[in-house]
């Protein structure tokens, strides 16, 4: 970790490069601080000068408890405690002497086990503990007089002294195989004896500024003549890291292994070209590849780390070392090597390290950097490690970040590629006052959720809002959540790889009865229709989406950067709103139930998806979410679920890949994005993904009927069987409504505005066409390959508005009549008069058989 030297590299600051993702507190996010013990930077501030001195030991313990209490209150979920700052130990070790930073004297026993105490206290608070060590550093200055208490006496040939003018000190020689073997033994001892969650090593490899002749002895013995000095030194570091990873995997593969290199890999174009890598534009400064002789890209590529935490210790306003550019570049390196791997393949998480000690650090700047992490860290796994804990607290970031970015608790991102065994749900949930107890035969870590009885469990457990925390025991005190009334408590095994398993539930209070499904009949009347000739704004392929809100219709105009407001009762044009043109083509337009208008580009390129928002009727949208991932591909449409000011998400389907993108929102703010990938997801022109409920969604592309998919995995759960209308060619679209417990799906019959109504209450395999196909609105070419619907349900009535690009708009009223006899009486005159069954609203029962208006038997 660059502590004293950072100021030499952080002098270049300057032009703004903003991050566009406005993110809400995601459920999966690594949030940690570095707790530095070298020269007692963060802890401990007092020494145990007399072995076993109770007062001095308690002073150290109480200081650490205060640190952990503050971090827990700030929704931090991990700490990186420096347990081996200079080839010494903050724990009893057969391989390393006690650290002088505990007692003032190297090799002196403090009389207690600081690491064991730290792990116990961190886990009490639902905080992971990652043991941070410096693999090679031996002394901060050469010849510090350690004498016979450690390696200098036993292995003087291991010690590499250096003085390059800017830096001096002592390291263990990475070129010696016995040094690398020793470090493997150190890590093996550490993970065998302690229940740590991770091991993190930082950037003290070869010394800053480069090494010239100091390692001549080991180089003469071990360096192949065909290798350059630089390549040999980098190989030594790489072999060390690979050996440490292999040691961890052999003992406890769930222990996360992370590396924290200098934030700039290299600025040399020749190095980048040789590795097939494009460097970020405009980045200048120190070269870790040639000066520290480390190659973090190789660690990522070869997959012998679990996470990488580059120390990007510069602001978003820096020109030569711009945070946003560097964060994006590191994310691209991670994606480059792992984005194409199948589920279960190896991945590397990106958890960026932040500078909290420089004068330019503010809450606003820290927020921008966290936003960048949420945008650029791949695999829906953002992460931050703040250096150092003292400054994170003293600068008000604990409270400030909780208020602005870490509003809810989060779980460290899962290493799903390592978790292979499904674990059963906990049992025997019991609430004793505010203390919840449960049982499980094997697991030792759990996640707990508390949400209203009225809420869908799957949706509640998919967001951070209802997460009570992470627990390393079979008990949780829920007093902080107030009166536990009319709530559901869910407990899930959270395995040590970070994966959640099946939930067990305890309901407190009464849950409302679900809406009963009643018998009855569906009818439909056309309220009005407007052809393209009657709507002057309907220009070629420009109008692709329609939304309804508060008695008005909103129609997009992507070609002219406008939208139109129509009276929903009559279809007459009431207003035209012009939007800024410098952003996108506003083809996609949706409105949530609380009036939040969402806008997007129906021709979004293959690398980014943008969402802009404002209140319905507004004219100045702001960017609320950007998702950048070249692997996702183009998307044309999105659909909302839930209420923007409460919780929900946007859902969109890739045109070219079998994946969907889910963008969460809560409390009026967009949050994290999740890519849902499954081979059964449709792909093609005008692809659409529309939420059905909290756990499933519809998906379709041009020329295919919608199928139902799981919101978490993307796997298809329902498809069409039996005799259904042949799929309409060159068109996609969906409308969905629920009336009196009956589910109905509207799908296009052609590209001109005709559509069909299916009841899907019993699932797509039992879908029934309920009413006749509506008449087309025109015969104009529709190169958008889409029909769009807006649905407004009011009790037993639903108002459906259908947009057929280049052809027109029509409005229909659907009515579900719950009482069968009433429906028959209302329509009896038709049979008595001998009239033909031509009215959409007519449903007739004859001899026990029921027919719809088109003469189709439906019962």
- What gap in Å lies between CA 161 and CA 139, rounded to an integer? 9
To the nearest 10°, report the CA torsion of 372, 373, 375, 379: 170
- What gap in Å lies between CA 183 and CA 289, rounded to an integer? 22
Same domain, 81 and 149: yes
Same domain, 128 and 227: yes
- What gap in Å lies between CA 23 and CA 405, rounded to an integer? 7
Q: Can you read off the two tokens belonging to residue 3?
A: 């502590």
Q: Are 581 and 626 in contact (CB under 8 A)?
A: no
Domain end point (choices 483, 508, 533): 508
Q: Total structural domains in the chain?
A: 2
Average pLDDT over residues 287-291: 87
- Please report whether residue 229 resides in a domain: yes
To the nearest 10°, report the CA torsion of 820, 825, 831, 835: -100
Same domain, 19 and 62: yes
Domain end point (choices 466, 485, 508): 508
pLDDT, tens digit, 9 for 90 and up, residues 310-368: 999 999 999 999 999 999 999 999 988 775 454 456 789 999 999 999 999 999 999 99
- What gap in Å lies between CA 614 and CA 368, rounded to an integer? 22
- What gap in Å lies between CA 329 and CA 308, rounded to an integer? 13
Q: Can you read off the two tokens belonging to residue 477?
A: 């005190």
Nearest residue to 62 via CA among 85, 46, 83? 46
Residue with tokens 């870490």: 406
Residue 744 has what pLDDT? Answer: 95
Bridge partner list, 451: 488
Residue 121 has what pLDDT? Answer: 98
- Please report whether residue 17 resides in a domain: yes
Residue with tokens 């194409």: 340
pLDDT, tens digit, 9 for 90 and up, residues 383-423: 999 999 999 999 999 999 998 999 999 999 999 888 878 89
Q: Are 84 and 172 in contact (CB under 8 A)?
A: no
Same domain, 174 and 211: yes
Residue 420 has what pLDDT? Answer: 78
- What gap in Å lies between CA 105 and CA 539, rounded to an integer? 82
pLDDT, tens digit, 9 for 90 and up, residues 656-695: 888 888 888 877 788 777 788 888 899 888 899 999 987 7
- What gap in Å lies between CA 807 and CA 351, rounded to an integer? 51
- What gap in Å lies between CA 356 and CA 366, rounded to an integer? 8
pLDDT, tens digit, 9 for 90 and up, residues 22-77: 346 899 999 999 999 999 999 999 999 999 999 999 999 999 999 999 999 999 99
Residue 332 belongs to what domain range? 6-404
**Dihedrals φ, ψ of 233, to 5°?**
-65, -40
- Please report whether residue 220 resides in a domain: yes
3-state secondary structure of 400: helix
Q: Are 662 and 670 in contact (CB under 8 A)?
A: no
Check whether 648 has a pLDDT greater than 70: yes
- What gap in Å lies between CA 592 and CA 169, rounded to an integer? 61
Calculate Rg over the CA atoms of the chain: 31
* Helices 397-404 & 54-73 angle (0-180, nearest 10): 30
Residue 567 pLDDT level (bands cut at 50, 70, 90): very high
pLDDT, tens digit, 9 for 90 and up, residues 166-201: 566 788 999 999 999 999 999 999 999 999 999 999
**Dihedrals φ, ψ of 759, to 5°?**
-85, 130
Residue 857 has what pLDDT? Answer: 44
Q: Are 712 and 462 in contact (CB under 8 A)?
A: yes
Residue 142 has what pLDDT? Answer: 54
Q: Can you read off the two tokens belonging to residue 29?
A: 């996010």
The CATH number assigned to the domain holding 451 equals: 2.60.40.10
The count of other CB atoms within 10 Å of the CB of residue 581 is: 11
Nearest residue to 422 via CA among 344, 504, 502? 502
Q: Are 497 and 420 in contact (CB under 8 A)?
A: no
- Please report whether residue 606 resides in a domain: no
Q: Are 691 and 697 in contact (CB under 8 A)?
A: yes
- Please report whether residue 362 resides in a domain: yes
- Of the two residues 346 and 78, the one the predictor is more confident about is 78
Nearest residue to 257 via CA among 221, 295, 205, 307? 307
- Chain center to CA of 282: 29
Same domain, 398 and 466: no
Same domain, 390 and 436: no
Same domain, 341 and 475: no
Same domain, 377 and 452: no
- Please report whether residue 699 resides in a domain: no
- Please report whether residue 337 resides in a domain: yes
Same domain, 441 and 295: no
DSSP 568-612: TTT--EEEEEE--SSS--EEEEEE-TTSEEEEEETT--SSEEEEE
Average pLDDT over residues 514-535: 85
Dihedral sign, Cα of residue 721, residue 840, residue 794, residue 621: positive
Judge residue 790's burial from the number of C-beta atoms within 10 Å of its C-beta, 0-12 exposed, 13-18 middle, 19 or more buried. Answer: buried
- Please report whether residue 195 resides in a domain: yes
The CATH number assigned to the domain holding 113 equals: 3.20.20.80
The count of other CB atoms within 10 Å of the CB of residue 775 is: 12
Q: What is the pTM of this model?
A: 0.66
Residue 144 has what pLDDT? Answer: 53
What stretch of H or E contains 59? helix 54-73
pLDDT, tens digit, 9 for 90 and up, residues 470-497: 999 999 999 888 778 888 999 999 999 9
Residue 405 has what pLDDT? Answer: 93
- What gap in Å lies between CA 137 and CA 124, rounded to an integer? 32
Q: Are 764 and 791 in contact (CB under 8 A)?
A: no
Same domain, 148 and 30: yes
Q: Which long-range contacts (CB under 8 A, 24 or more apart) does 559-562 make?
A: 559/585, 561/585, 561/586, 562/537, 562/586
What stretch of H or E contains 100? helix 100-103
Same domain, 228 and 339: yes
Same domain, 388 and 461: no
- What gap in Å lies between CA 814 and CA 797, rounded to an integer? 6
Residue 575 has what pLDDT? Answer: 93
């Amino acid at each position: 970790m660059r502590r004293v030297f950072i100021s030499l590299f952080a002098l270049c600051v300057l032009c703004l490069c903003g991050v566009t993702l406005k993110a809400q507190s995601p459920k999966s996010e690594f949030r940690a601080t570095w707790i530095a013990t070298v020269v007692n930077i963060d802890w401990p501030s007092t020494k145990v000068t007399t072995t076993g001195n109770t007062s001095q030991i308690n002073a150290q313990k109480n200081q650490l408890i205060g640190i952990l209490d503050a971090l827990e209150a700030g929704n931090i979920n991990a700490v990186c405690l420096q347990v081996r700052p200079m080839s010494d130990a903050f724990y009893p070790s057969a391989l390393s002497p006690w650290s002088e930073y505990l007692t003032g004297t190297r090799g002196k026993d403090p009389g207690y086990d600081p690491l064991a105490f730290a792990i116990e206290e961190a886990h009490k608070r639902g905080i992971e503990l990652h043991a941070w060590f410096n693999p090679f550093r031996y002394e901060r200055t050469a010849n510090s007089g350690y004498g016979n208490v450690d390696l200098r006496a036993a292995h003087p040939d291991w010690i590499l002294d250096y003085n390059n003018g800017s830096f001096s000190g002592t390291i263990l020689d990475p070129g010696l195989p016995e040094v690398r073997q020793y470090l493997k033994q150190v890590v093996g001892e550490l993970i065998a004896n302690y229940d740590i969650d991770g091991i993190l090593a930082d950037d003290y490899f070869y010394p800053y500024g480069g090494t010239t002749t100091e390692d001549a002895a080991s180089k003469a013995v071990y360096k192949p003549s065909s290798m350059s000095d630089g390549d040999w030194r980098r190989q030594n570091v790489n072999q060390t890291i690979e050996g440490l990873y292999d040691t961890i995997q052999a003992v406890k593969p769930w222990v996360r292994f992370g590396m924290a290199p200098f934030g700039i890999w290299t600025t040399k174009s020749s190095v980048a070209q040789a590795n097939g890598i494009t460097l970020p534009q405009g980045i200048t400064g120190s070269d870790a590849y040639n000066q520290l002789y480390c190659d973090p890209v190789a660690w990522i590529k070869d997959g012998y780390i679990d996470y990488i935490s580059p120390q990007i210790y510069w602001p978003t306003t820096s020109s030569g070392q711009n945070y946003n550019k560097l964060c994006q570049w590191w994310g691209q390196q991670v994606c480059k090597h792992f984005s194409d791997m199948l589920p279960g393949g190896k991945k590397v998480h990106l958890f960026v390290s932040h500078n909290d000690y420089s004068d330019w650090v503010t809450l606003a700047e820290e927020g921008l950097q966290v936003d960048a992490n949420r945008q650029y860290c791949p695999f829906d796994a953002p992460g931050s490690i703040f250096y150092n804990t003292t400054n994170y607290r003293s600068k008000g970031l604990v409270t400030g970040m909780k208020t602005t970015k870490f509003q809810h608790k989060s779980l460290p991102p899962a290493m799903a590629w390592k978790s292979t065994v499904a674990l059963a749900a906990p049992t025997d949930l019991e609430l004793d006052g505010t203390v919840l107890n449960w049982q499980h035969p094997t697991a030792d870590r759990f996640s707990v959720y508390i949400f209203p009885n009225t809420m869908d469990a799957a949706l509640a457990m998919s967001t951070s809002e209802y997460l009570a925390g992470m627990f390393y025991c079979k008990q949780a005190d829920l007093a902080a959540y107030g009166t536990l009334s009319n709530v559901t408590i869910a407990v899930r095994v959270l395995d040590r790889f970070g994966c959640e398993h099946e939930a067990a539930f305890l309901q407190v209070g009464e849950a409302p009865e679900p809406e009963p499904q009643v018998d009855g009949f569906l009818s439909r009347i056309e309220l009005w229709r407007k052809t393209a000739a009657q709507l002057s704004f309907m220009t070629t392929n420009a109008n692709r989406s329609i939304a309804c809100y508060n008695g008005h219709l909103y129609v997009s105009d992507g070609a002219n950067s406008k939208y139109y407001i129509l009276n929903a009762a009559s279809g007459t044009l009431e207003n035209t709103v012009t939007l800024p043109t410098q952003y996108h083509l506003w083809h996609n337009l949706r409105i949530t139930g609380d009036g939040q208008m969402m806008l997007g580009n129906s021709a979004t390129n293959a690398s980014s998806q943008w969402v802009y928002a404002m209140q319905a009727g507004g004219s100045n949208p702001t960017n609320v979410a950007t998702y950048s991932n070249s692997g996702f591909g183009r998307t044309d449409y999105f659909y909302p679920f839930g209420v923007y000011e409460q919780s929900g998400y946007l859902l969109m389907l890739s045109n070219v890949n079998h994946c969907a993108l889910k963008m969460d929102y809560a409390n009026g703010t967009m949050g994290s994005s999740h890519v849902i990938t499954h081979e059964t997801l449709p792909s093609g022109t005008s692809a659409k993904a529309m939420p059905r409920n909290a756990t499933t969604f519809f998906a379709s592309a041009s020329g295919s009927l919608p199928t139902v998919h799981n919101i978490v995995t993307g796997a298809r759960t329902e498809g069409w069987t039996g005799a259904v209308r042949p799929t309409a060619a060159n068109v996609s679209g969906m409308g969905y409504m629920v009336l009196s417990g009956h589910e109905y799906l509207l799908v296009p019959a052609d590209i001109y505005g005709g559509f069909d109504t299916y009841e899907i209450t019993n699932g797509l395999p039992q879908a029934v066409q309920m009413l006749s196909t509506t008449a087309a609105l025109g015969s104009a070419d529709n190169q958008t390959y889409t029909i769009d619907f807006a649905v407004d349900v009011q009790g037993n009535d639903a108002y459906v508005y259908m947009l057929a690009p280049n052809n027109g708009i029509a409005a229909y009223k659907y009515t579900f009549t719950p009482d069968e006899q009433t429906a028959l009486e209302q329509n009896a005159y038709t049979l008595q008069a001998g009239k033909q069954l031509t009215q959409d609203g007519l449903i007739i029962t004859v001899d026990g058989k029921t027919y719809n208006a088109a003469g189709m038997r439906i019962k």
